[in-house]
């Protein structure tokens, strides 16, 4: 059986004020061409299909266009799960009707849903789809008071799947989670605030292939058959050195797999460049990729009048400038002031200590975590 694994499309994403729908449409045309070329038996999309719970109209239309081409023109089934950015109700709307056309969507966690079964020359392959769900939801679903975090929640779900698996069968799992040891980037929204969100890789070892979503860097997660495909495109400058891929899997009659990785070329790359202003301007005249989205680190000392304006005459899509020579003095306020690398809890703790001159207590941390977790649940269910 041939399978394409992709995830984290984040349709409707905005990068430093730039709407990326045109770039996403460009790269999804290549994805459709890849589907035509490889002719897979199934396409797996492991969550974060949209960038937010209420996606813009252009993003919805783009997904509709891509899915329609794959299902109606190429007649290849799609198995899709909701990620932590998606609204489970919106993404899963009409899933019963769509299943008959080959679109299998798991929006909300429903353990009474049977796995999707697809057949090749050697018999059935069972696809188990686990959409993202907060631990509190899993706890309520199973009426299990022992569930207190993401690891407990995933362990309970996998236990249920294992209990109902057909023996000596081939099984593929889709999940949207942070597996322990994974490499993160700045553009991923934390699954919760405070505490560990990581789940053990041990849960996934008994499946023939595990298609993961959430982390944007393509990577293995503890074993060769447990994989993040990574995001469709680069969605932050912290991903500038990533090579984005789509995973192509071939499974034999015994469930052994062979993996290949195909790169898709973006219309505009996301790059970080560094140098003195005049050198960069001169270099830009010869740059064949001057339309890329850029973060520029200027090494010049002293003031520069309208640096971004000068750069944009050569590089039209300069989105961010850093001046390390001018910000060195900011180190005086403390090493914990690198706000871009701080999550909500750390930001709040830093703010509280500045205002009250007291460190945050454990009780305050728990209260803040409950508020933020409730907020994220609300925006996903809008």
pLDDT per position as a tens digit, 2-54? 999 999 999 999 999 999 999 999 999 999 999 999 999 999 999 999 999 99
* pLDDT tens-digit readout, 338-369: 555 667 777 788 777 776 767 888 788 778 87
Q: Is 123 helix (H, G, I), strand (E, B) or coil?
A: strand
CA-wise closest residue to 42 among 165, 131, 174: 174
Q: Is 158 helix (H, G, I), strand (E, B) or coil?
A: helix
Q: Residues 312-318: what's their mean pLDDT?
A: 95
- Report how far Cα 290 is from the mean position of its chain's Cα atoms: 27
Q: Across 107-111, 194-198, 352-356, which has the greatest mean pLDDT?
A: 107-111
Q: Residues 153-174: what's their mean pLDDT?
A: 93
Residue listed under structure tokens 């500045």: 354
Would the pTM of this model clear 0.95, i.e. be above it?
Answer: no
Termini Cα distance of the chain: 38
Identify which has the larger pLDDT, 351 or 244: 244
Q: Quick one: tokens of 286?
A: 């010869």
- Cα gap 113→109, rounded to integer Å: 9
Q: Reply yes or no on whether the pLDDT at 92 is more than 90.
A: no
Q: Reply yes or no on whether the pLDDT at 199 is more than 70.
A: yes
Q: Residues 235-253: what's their mean pLDDT?
A: 95
Q: Reply yes or no on whether the pLDDT at 162 is more than 60.
A: yes
Predicted local distance difference test score (pLDDT) of residue 337: 53
Q: pLDDT tier at 195 (50, 70, 90 boundaries)?
A: very low
Q: Quick one: tokens of 263?
A: 């790169």
Predicted local distance difference test score (pLDDT) of residue 333: 47
Which range is least confidently modeled, 261-265, 305-309, 362-366? 362-366
- Cα gap 120→313, rounded to integer Å: 55
Helix runs in the chain, H state only: 21-38, 57-68, 88-91, 95-99, 135-142, 150-164, 277-285, 307-312, 324-327, 344-356, 362-380
Average pLDDT taken over every residue of the chain: 88
Residue listed under structure tokens 């789809």: 129
Q: pLDDT tier at 198 (50, 70, 90 boundaries)?
A: confident
Q: Is 247 helix (H, G, I), strand (E, B) or coil?
A: strand
């Amino acid at each position: 059986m041939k399978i394409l694994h992709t995830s984290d499309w984040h349709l409707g994403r905005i990068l430093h004020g730039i709407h990326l729908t045109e770039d996403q449409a460009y790269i999804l045309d290549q994805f459709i061409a890849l589907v035509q070329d490889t002719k897979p038996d199934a396409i797996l999309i492991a969550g974060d299909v949209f960038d937010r719970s209420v996606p813009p109209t252009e993003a919805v239309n783009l997904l509709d266009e891509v899915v329609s081409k794959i299902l109606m023109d190429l007649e290849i089934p799609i198995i899709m799960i909701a990620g932590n950015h998606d609204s489970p109700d919106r993404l899963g709307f009409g899933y019963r009707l769509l299943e008959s056309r080959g679109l299998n969507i798991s929006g909300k966690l429903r353990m009474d849903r049977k796995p999707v079964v697809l057949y090749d020359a050697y018999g059935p392959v069972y696809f188990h789809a686990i959409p993202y769900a907060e631990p509190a939801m899993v706890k309520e679903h199973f009426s299990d008071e022992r569930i207190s975090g993401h690891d407990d929640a995933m362990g309970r779900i996998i236990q249920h799947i294992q209990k109902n698996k057909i023996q000596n069968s081939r099984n593929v799992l889709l999940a949207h989670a942070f597996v322990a040891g994974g490499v993160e980037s700045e553009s991923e929204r934390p699954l919760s605030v405070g505490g560990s969100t990581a789940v053990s890789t041990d849960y996934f070892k008994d499946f023939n292939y595990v298609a993961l979503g959430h982390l944007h860097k393509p990577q293995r997660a503890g074993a060769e058959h447990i994989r993040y495909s990574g995001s469709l495109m680069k969605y932050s400058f912290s991903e500038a050195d990533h090579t984005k891929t789509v995973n192509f899997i071939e499974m034999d009659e015994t469930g052994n797999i062979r993996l290949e990785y195909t790169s898709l070329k973006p219309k505009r790359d996301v790059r970080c460049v560094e140098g003195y202003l005049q050198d960069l301007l001169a270099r830009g005249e010869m740059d064949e990729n001057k339309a890329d989205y850029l973060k520029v680190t200027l090494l010049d000392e002293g003031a520069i009048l309208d640096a971004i304006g000068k750069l944009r005459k050569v590089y039209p899509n300069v989105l961010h400038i850093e001046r390390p020579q001018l910000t060195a003095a900011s180190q005086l306020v403390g090493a914990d002031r690198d706000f871009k690398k701080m999550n909500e809890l750390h930001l709040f703790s830093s703010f509280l200590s500045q205002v009250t001159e007291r460190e945050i207590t454990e009780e305050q941390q728990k209260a803040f975590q409950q508020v933020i977790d409730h907020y994220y649940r609300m925006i996903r269910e809008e």
